[in-house]
Chain A
Amino acid sequence: MPKKTSKKEDKRQIIEKPEKSEKTKVIKSVKTTKKISKKIIKSKEKIPVKKDDKKIEKIDLIQNKENLKISEEINKILNDNFLPASIIDAITERVIKDKTLEPKLNQIITKSLEEYKKNLIDPSEACGIIGAQSIGEPGTQMTMRTFHYAGVAEINVTLGLPRLIEIVDARSIPSTPMMNIYLRDEYRLSPDLAKEVANKIEITKLNDVADIEADLTNLVIYVNPNAKTLEKKGTTTDELLESIKKIKKIDAKLEKNKIKITLDDPSYKKLLDVNETLKDLKVKGIDGIKRIIIRKEPSEGYVIYSEGSNLEKVLEIEGVDPYRTTTNDIQAVGRVLGIEAARNIIIQEAYNTLREQGLNVDKRHIMLVADVMTADGSIKAIGRHGVSGEKSSVLSRAAFEITVNHLLQASRRGEIDELGGVAENIIVGQPVNLGTGAVELVMKRITKKV
């Protein structure tokens, strides 16, 4: 039953809002704070380049006035009835675009109000269980095939069930971290600038740009830079020298085109040690970003896809659009952009992994999961170490795992169980506080006799 209705709702949603761009969807689906949504809108307006800022401001002002006018009108029609702000925004947007809709505003609002009420869930509905089953049942149909070359050529992404488990477990590092790095204005249009940014991001090791030769008889190491690759990666021999000098207890000098490295106190073992560190020496780039692919997207320009993820550092690079760049590392998003952003990324990632497998789970079920995971301001896993393990009720915890331990500890501490949840009430043998069980009957004072 729940599946059926959710499918219905899904279809309705698609029919109702077919022309919305990806970005407005993001804004809508999410309870972003005003600040953030404003930022997003700003970045959206910046996309058409080469327009005077003043012009944009003027257009903005006019739009704001119209917005206010129409939303006031809508509020008048609504007359204390409730519609979510996102729906009102969508209607205003549409009405501004299409002036012929304005006289029909009353009709539109009443109709959407009707539809909204029809879709509302009843209080004390067991939405958690419905959500769990709606995700769990399609989950059983997921293939176990872990690796799949999805869209982006050559980058390996964990998909399917393993990825879903990863998201729900709130792992600190995903097994295949990945980033989609979007670029700002002129950077996304010019291949050279995009390449430049990519070079700043992709990690370059000394071994990639130079040959390292160890002279065992004289106990010196020669680093022989390859001019071609140096140019390709956008570094110089001097920069190599700088980074080599950071290694302790050695001395580096430029000799002709080579870099000569001598040890402070030479020994055979130390020479080999230094040789190893030299091979792994980072010359340029960001830690954790192993490989980079630049692709030209039709309506976007150049986009950088990276294997490995480091959100903090990538956002600092000039030319990267911080508003749209994403990673699949949920914990990093939570750390850098905050808990609401983490919630969004959980919803997005889970929804996409399910959809890639051809499973249409309603977004609202996933939203509920994401809400539970992020409700207290930190990202908690679903399971032993997170949500289930931190429940306040002893009986509910005992019903989940390690029954005896929980009961023992609880009796030692003298815990009190409020019998608020489902599991506790079933254990005790009471009606559960859900659905019909949550209704309390009273006598009607005035009866109407027929």
Chain B
Amino acid sequence: MLKYTRFEKARIIGARALQISMGAPSLIKIPKDVIFPIDIAMLEFKENAIPITVKRINETQFRRT
């Protein structure tokens, strides 16, 4: 699996949280008490359920990690 840098992770979760906050249905089962969009997005990220990745302009610079 692709390993994300911390910036990419933040960006993906942020984008997904925006969708959720505007009413998008969650893609996984979320516990009833979690209602904050960012928390939901983070849960989805953990489950690898968010249908978003990043486009890397220069792949070679990531190859080392």
What is the bound-complex CA distance between A369 and B53, given in angstroms?
Answer: 34
Which residue from B7, B47, B61, B65 sits with its C-beta under 8 Å from A450? B47
**Which residues from chain B contact A299 at a C-beta distance below 8 Å?**
none
A122, B6: Cβ atoms closer than 8 Å: yes
**Which residues from chain A contact B62 at a C-beta distance below 8 Å?**
123
Interface residues on B, range: 20 to 34
What's the minimum C-beta distance from B25 to chain A, rounded to whole angstroms? 13
A447, B64: Cβ atoms closer than 8 Å: no
Interface residues of B in 28-64 (CB under 8 A from A): 28-29, 47-55, 57, 61-62, 64
**Which residues from chain A contact B57 at a C-beta distance below 8 Å?**
440
What is the bound-complex CA distance between A314 and B60, given in angstroms?
Answer: 46
**Which residues from chain B contact A442 at a C-beta distance below 8 Å?**
52-55
The majority secondary structure among interface residues of chain A is loop
**CB of B12 closer than 8 Å to a CB of A:** yes
A437-450 interface mask toward B, CB cutoff 8 Å, 1 = contact, 0 = none?
01111111001111
**Which residues from chain A contact B5 at a C-beta distance below 8 Å?**
122-124
B49, A448: Cβ atoms closer than 8 Å: yes
- Tell me the A residues contacting B by CB distance below 8 Å: 82, 117, 120, 122-125, 435-436, 438-444, 447-450
A436, B7: Cβ atoms closer than 8 Å: yes
What's the minimum C-beta distance from B50 to chain A, rounded to whole angstroms? 8
**Which residues from chain B contact A436 at a C-beta distance below 8 Å?**
7, 10-11, 14
Given A440-B55, A443-B51, A444-B53, the answer on whether A449 and B27 have CB atoms closer than 8 Å is: yes
**Which residues from chain A contact B8 at a C-beta distance below 8 Å?**
439
Closest to A83 in B: B64
With A436-B14, A439-B7, A441-B55 known, 8 other A-B pairs at CB within 8 A are A82-B64, A117-B65, A120-B64, A122-B6, A123-B5, A435-B7, A436-B7, A450-B28
17 interchain pairs, CB-CB under 8 A: A117-B65, A436-B11, A439-B7, A440-B55, A440-B57, A441-B15, A441-B53, A442-B52, A442-B53, A444-B53, A447-B51, A448-B48, A448-B49, A449-B49, A450-B27, A450-B29, A450-B49
What is the bound-complex CA distance between A436 and B54, given in angstroms?
Answer: 11
What's the minimum C-beta distance from A109 to chain B, rounded to whole angstroms? 16
**Which residues from chain B contact A123 at a C-beta distance below 8 Å?**
5, 61-62
Q: Which of B15, B29, B62, B65 has the most CB of A within 10 A?
A: B65
**Which residues from chain A contact B49 at a C-beta distance below 8 Å?**
447-450
What's the minimum C-beta distance from B15 to chain A, rounded to whole angstroms? 6
